[in-house]
Structure 1
Amino acid sequence: MAEEMKIIVFTLAHEEYGIEVDKVRTIERLMPITRVPKTPDFVKGVINLRGVVIPVIDLRGRFSLPESELGDNSRIIIVAANDLEVGFIVDSANDVIDLMSDAIENPPEVVGGIKAKYLSGVAKIGDNRLLILLNLSEVLNRGEIIQLEQFGE
């Protein structure tokens, strides 16, 4: 039986992506990010959000998408993955939608230049809209999580 899921929709390089609402803590406007040395390029640094230090990742950089200027619509989506809170910089966060689980298909090998391992599926919405769902445990692989946890200490 198909279950209904709530999905936060955001954009990156003109594609729509989704993360399950229960994995999202908050969506914030851009704020000052403190650079941390000796981290991968896509780790932009850390932010202090209400007294909690949170590492911030540029999802464009993570997925090897072309960089773009951050604008008024850019957001930091704070997600909880494996007991760690991490911020994702996205082009915009637009919408919350209800999605039936049976509308989700397995991802093809590459979608929008992103390897399938980072994706949990692709959902068809209506006749001409595709929503790419992220696999958070792969977006933050184990080695990177260990590195990021060290920032928080």
Structure 2
Amino acid sequence: MDELKAVIVQCGNEEYAIPVQSIVSIERLEQVNPIPHLPDFVLGLMNIRGELVPIFDFEKILYHRSAKEHDETRVVVVQTDVLTIGLLVLDAKEIIDIPNDSLTDSALKVYSKTPYFTAVANLEDRMITVVDPEVLAQTLSGMDEIGAYVEAKISEAK
């Protein structure tokens, strides 16, 4: 494969690429039911086409401020081995093909707090950080509790 096809999302002033093969859908933020006693980046559960999806504020994960108050916010629903999750981002802008020869990971290896940043695309007019949703889901605190809570809510609904 010569290119990485990705959805470009915005958090803060930065752009991030999420590989399309991980993405289930892109949604508007609807009613979110809070989940008590979980990290503050977990907004709660949103019902997306009959499925309960935990919504994570990606802006809060990265920059400790919320994306919730912006008009253009979108929920990027991604499938991981751990759980289907929704990432709240400031905007989901476009789908692009990133040439593999523009990707580098050397600068990211030294920073252990963001193992979910797997590469940086150095394009002509912009730099875009590639996010691996699978690694993100594995490294965030509270994932076991969130999964158990979602399973319990699904069981209650039956």
TM-score of the pair, normalised by structure 1: 0.87
Gapped regions of structure 2 (runs ≥ 5): 152-158
What residue in structure 2 maps to residue 134 of structure 1? 131
Note the C-alpha offset of 1:66. Answer: 3.1
What residue in structure 2 maps to residue 146 of structure 1? 144
Q: In the aligned structure 2, how far is the partner of 1:12 from the partner of 1:133?
A: 13
- How many residues are paired up? 149
What residue in structure 2 maps to residue 70 of structure 1? 69
Structure 2 residue 15 is matched with structure 1 residue 16: yes
Which residue type is aligned with residue 35 of structure 2?
A: V
Percentage of matched positions with identical amino acids:
26
CA contact (8 A) 2:38 2:142 kept: no
Q: In the aligned structure 2, how far is the partner of 1:109 from the partner of 1:39?
A: 28
Gapped regions of structure 1 (runs ≥ 5): none
CA contact (8 A) 1:45 1:55 kept: yes
- The alignment partner of 1:117 has SS state of coil
TM-score of the pair, normalised by structure 2: 0.84
- The alignment partner of 1:9 has SS state of strand
- More strand by percentage: 1
Pairing 1:100-139 to 2, within 5 Å after superposition: 100-106=99-105, 108-109=107-108, 115-126=113-124, 128-139=125-136
What residue in structure 2 maps to residue 31 of structure 1? 30
Q: In the aligned structure 2, how far is the partner of 1:64 from the partner of 1:10?
A: 15
What residue in structure 1 maps to residue 50 of structure 2? 51
